[in-house]
């Protein structure tokens, strides 16, 4: 969990630095602050989904036992 938080903070810092420079991707697409927030949120979303799946797996195992 600490790794995900620190990775998110680093990505947020880099994202804010790059968005303040109006970073341009190939094709002239610029990333707005909302785009960087979505990129930063992805690891948290996937971590939450993994935790939810693990909890459901435990509940399924308990249901089989009971």
Specify the pTM.
0.50
- Alpha-carbon distance of 18 to 51, in angstroms, equals 31
Handedness of CA 27, 30, 13, 43 (dihedral sign): negative
pLDDT tens digits for 18-59? Answer: 555 555 555 666 667 777 788 888 888 888 888 889 999 999
Contacts of 7 (CB under 8 A, 6+ apart): 43
16: confidence class by pLDDT, cuts 50, 70, 90: low
CA 13 vs CA 5, 10, 48, 62: distances in Å: 12, 5, 22, 42
- Alpha-carbon distance of 61 to 52, in angstroms, equals 14
**Residue 66, pLDDT score:** 83
**Residue 60, pLDDT score:** 92
């Amino acid at each position: 969990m600490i790794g995900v938080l620190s990775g998110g903070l680093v990505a947020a810092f880099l994202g804010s630095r790059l968005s303040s420079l109006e970073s341009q991707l190939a094709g002239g697409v610029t990333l707005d602050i909302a785009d960087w927030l979505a990129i930063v949120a992805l690891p948290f979303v996937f971590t939450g989904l993994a935790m939810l799946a693990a909890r459901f797996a435990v509940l399924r195992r308990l249901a089989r036992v009971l």
